[in-house]
Amino acid sequence: MTSIVTYQGNLRCESTHLKSNDSFITDAPLDNNGKGEAFSPTDTVATAVASCMLTVMAIKATEMQNDLTGSTAKVTKHMTVDPRRISQIDIQLNIQGNCDQRTQLILERVANTCPVLNSLHPTIVKNIIFNWE
């Protein structure tokens, strides 16, 4: 097993990673009867895409003797109804590091093959912008 998710009441869940015992909570969003006091489950999906992209880029960058420490991703998730689902994810990656154009191209290709991104339904619009700083 990877994790255990426990419903705590009041539309809140706690997810615990079994190997590390690290945990986080999710709440239903304000527009779906919740308090919106924490990430919603769909927020975690959109955020996981950005986290995955930065992680696989950092793995490849390290292999290429580059350091991306300090890089960030700004994530915006859009929802639709009927059925209620994620319709679009916008990610602006702001990449730190001293990467030449060839390295940038390689890292962008790696980012676009991240497992979370490739696990999303094809009808979800994915707008990815790379800013090299």
The type of residue at 25 is I
Q: How many residues does the chain have?
A: 133
List, for residues 48-103, the tens digit of each pLDDT value: 999 999 999 999 999 999 999 999 999 999 999 999 999 999 999 999 999 999 99
The reported pTM is 0.94
60 and 96, same domain (yes or no): yes
* pLDDT given at position 33: 94
64 and 123, same domain (yes or no): yes
26 and 73, same domain (yes or no): no
In this prediction, residue 43 has a pLDDT band, given cuts at 50, 70 and 90, of very high
Contact between 34 and 20 under an 8 Å Cβ cutoff? The reply is: no
54 and 101, same domain (yes or no): yes
Whether a cis peptide bond, with omega within 30° of 0, leads into 83 is yes
32 and 47, same domain (yes or no): no
64 and 128, same domain (yes or no): yes
According to DSSP, the β-strands at 12-17 and 23-27 are antiparallel
Instruction: Tell me which residue range forms the domain holding 23.
Output: 1-39
7 and 21, same domain (yes or no): yes
List, for residues 8-35, the tens digit of each pLDDT value: 999 999 999 999 999 999 999 999 999 9
User: What is the number of structural domains in the chain?
Assistant: 2
Measured CA distances, 63 to 6, 56, 59, 101, 105 (Å): 38, 11, 6, 16, 15
